[in-house]
A and B are shown apart, each in its own frame.
Chain A
């Protein structure tokens, strides 16, 4: 959803004056952003609808039954005998009234399938972003403060490596190194980390079993995030450390620790959060490989299964959910930016 409109954040000329005024401004800004996003989402959804309808046949499965009557009835029921524009309008009308249709693959409600998959993916994204965010910030900050040191060079090297590694390959390497090998090497009854699903059979909830299942997929999805975010964090911190206000603070004799935490870190966080939020939105629909390797029934796997089956009534709302996530995360990023950097006004 790169084409979504995004208001520029500009230096404030008289922006956030009172807490009440600030609240009103933030709310108004958020509403405006959401309204502006609607046309973009609709346009994107139409393009996607057109592409999906041109590519996939929702009746593929029915055609296997080779009963022309069944195919004709279903085609009429789904409105497939109409133009793409008409079909889109009908689908969108049903969508906004809460009728997301039924999966042609499973016969289940698309709504329930997506809710279940989204819930699973959100768990992965939450833990992944938390882990990667904290670690990337720490690494980036260290690299910036120790610029051109041996540690900085080593971490830079690892970052490039992390960005370059394909998820499927990394996942299999991690499985071998952190689960299969220790089990075989130390003669364990079970591997220290699991890699099939998010729970062992018969288990549920957030417990030790859950975290033993979660560790490897989270690690897989975070390696590249840590790599890229740490580079961004480093650059952002270097900018902050080289800024006029830091030099001024140093000249005034402000203690280095205070300069770092009160001035440099806070200001470097704003752009960092923007990147984190944007990438997090991408993760909502982008964990196809990770979810496939670890047999996790999330949004990525649902997308893949639906795509292979030509299950358009799941693919379409899937796309809308990802698009809306992009809008919301972008909005959250801008709001976070403004809250962290008082120079930024929301308009």
Chain B
């Protein structure tokens, strides 16, 4: 998912589409966080500070979710996930670091890793932990998994049915065992009951209006925290779930205070009204960080956020491979990334459309595209283009001029566009900047292919490769697929779809990774679009805050909030 402009809500991608185009789901943006579950600290982690028992913290939240019914369309903001869902809804898999990779690991709700029986109809057996209970003391059971699966598969106004739409049946041989049978092999099966959704309590919601019970915040919990209150427009307050069977929170209370204005939020942080911030990395955030001393900060480029130049392969001039290659040679991606994030120590551009969070599935094939004006000339002249009197490439009476669209009001992107405009002009291309709102761009223009070049972010929120969502021919929005595809760039690359299909269906991880690497290579050869850089995540906290603090690119900065506390 992606980001809303002025109010950057961060929305995780749907189950299948761990990768979603930023604006598409119009929600996400920088999904960030990192983390380690103790297996291994993340690249961006902070040594644990001793904490005392009890106390309260107030954390700034730059966006307020529209609702807390996590499977409904209204649950578009990833801030809701970070603040409430992660803390209260149990899930089958956690996302944790294993060596250099982020992987899905069975959560405390599970007695063991789910077992997968491959075949034409893939069967997944889930064994729940005997101690796992809801906050009212009732056990978490297989009926809860069944209820959740069917609510998503069969429900109306569901945010994303990916993966659940493959469910043929769910059986519950006993209270702690659920068996899900899929209609076909699905490599992304780990996203089921994980990622965005988790597991909901059947005994509290079954036969009732789930949306009504959950949308404004709910009283039940299967996580370490409970929602004490959600004051619309103001704050969300969490208190410990006394019945949580795992590690219980150290703090007595955590309040997330909605502070939409970035500048005021930084002032509130400096003044001590807010103990921690997780700001969207805009340009002014960089400036604020430079002038901020005496606070703790983590900056992590190891995220699921990938900013890219999206080229409409159906539109002139990007319907030509030489032109796409020439543009790739014209753009100095390293300079752009250095300009945007150099002050944070992030200087390397992305060399793949696979984000760092699922880095094991991606290569570095785009590294051959560095700024090289001779290569631009070679590509363009080879395709019959010649420069006109204005120094622009021209062919058959048409010049290489196009529009570049992004989200209006986003300073970081506006700066990127200005740099791009200059670089492209030097290479003989004219790019006119025409920005618009997120709703317009991702609701209308991008899905209908009404753009030439775009700049937005693709987000992964679960360690599951999903290049097919963006590049597969069957993902082009059409009447046939109900306009449900995310291949806004209309890419049709020969030989790519079979590889992407393997990535989606292959249950053997090695073969799956191999297929993904091959797909990545084919993408780089055909340049359907151009990756620019990952968007780093930033977490700030003051000296009052202690505990083990690190970033988790999937579950948010407060993935282990129960370990946070007031520093001794």
Q: Which A residues have a C-beta under 8 Å from some C-beta of B? A: 56-57, 60-68, 70, 73, 105-108, 113, 116-117, 120, 171-172, 175-176, 179-180, 183-184, 189-191, 194-199, 201-202, 292-297, 301-302, 305, 308-310
Contacts and interface: CB of A to CB of B under 8 A. Distances in A.
B415 interface: no
B27 A195 contact: no
Interface string B473-504: 00000000011100000000000000000000
A201 B232 contact: no
A297 B257 CA distance: 12
A234 to B, nearest CB: 34
B235 A197 contact: yes
B73 A64 contact: yes
A319 B257 CA distance: 28
Interface in B461-479: none
Given A65-B159, A308-B6, A57 B233 contact: no
Contacts of B274: 196
A196 B74 contact: no
A73 B69 CA distance: 20
Contact of B443 (A63, A292, A297): A63
Contact of A195 (B26, B267, B439, B483): B267
Interface in B437-459: 437, 439, 442-444
A172 B268 CA distance: 11
Contact of A105 (B74, B260, B264, B482): B74
B507 to A, nearest CB: 27
Given A106-B67, A201-B257, A175 B264 contact: yes
A295 B264 contact: yes
B261 A295 contact: yes
B267 A176 contact: yes
Given A62-B73, A107-B67, A308-B7, 7 more contacts: A70-B156, A70-B157, A179-B271, A196-B268, A196-B274, A295-B260, A301-B260
A42 B60 CA distance: 41
Contact of B264 (A66, A120, A294, A305): A294
Contacts of A183: 271-272
7 contacts: A62-B157, A70-B73, A195-B267, A197-B258, A295-B259, A308-B4, A310-B439
A107 B66 contact: yes
B526 interface: no
A196 B266 CA distance: 11
Interface in B1-50: 4-7, 24-27
Contact of B482 (A67, A179, A197): A67
A228 B206 CA distance: 60
Given A67-B482, A107-B74, A180 B271 contact: yes
Contacts of B158: 65, 67
A61 B260 CA distance: 21
B270 interface: yes
A261 B92 CA distance: 77
A108 B444 CA distance: 25
A257 to B, nearest CB: 46
A177 to B, nearest CB: 11
Given A62-B73, A64-B443, A195 B263 contact: no
A106 B66 contact: yes
A102 to B, nearest CB: 11
A295 B73 contact: no
Given A64-B26, A175-B264, A194-B273, A295 B258 contact: yes
Residue with the highest number of chain A CB atoms closer than 10 Å, among B156, B233, B235, B482: B233
Given A295-B258, A295-B260, A297-B233, A66 B484 contact: yes
Nearest to B63: A305
A297 B6 contact: no
A301 B63 CA distance: 12
A249 to B, nearest CB: 52
Contact of B439 (A57, A113, A294, A302): A57
B255 interface: yes
Contacts, number: 149
B184 interface: no
A63 B159 CA distance: 10
A324 B69 CA distance: 35
B81 interface: no
B268 A116 contact: no
A113 B216 CA distance: 12
A195 B74 contact: no
Contacts of B555: none
Interface in B222-242: 231-235, 237
B94 interface: no
A295 B7 CA distance: 13
Contact of A190 (B24, B25, B74, B272): B272
Contacts of B272: 183, 189-191
B54 to A, nearest CB: 14
B420 interface: no
Contacts of B211: 107
B235 A175 contact: no
Given A57-B439, A201-B58, A196 B273 contact: yes
A171 B259 CA distance: 14
Nearest to B65: A106
Contacts of B231: 297
B443 A60 contact: yes
Contacts of A117: 233
A64 B270 contact: no
Contact of A172 (B24, B156, B234, B264): B264
Contact of A107 (B215, B257, B264, B483): B215
A191 B159 CA distance: 42
B160 interface: yes
Contacts of A57: 439, 443-444
Contacts of B439: 56-57, 60, 308-310
A54 to B, nearest CB: 13
A341 B257 CA distance: 49
Contacts of B235: 197, 201
B76 A201 contact: no
Shortest 10 CB-CB contacts between residues of A and residues of B:
A297-B233, A201-B255, A66-B484, A191-B271, A68-B482, A65-B73, A106-B66, A180-B271, A295-B259, A60-B443
Contacts of B172: none
A107 B235 CA distance: 18
Contacts of A64: 24-27, 73, 76, 159, 442-443
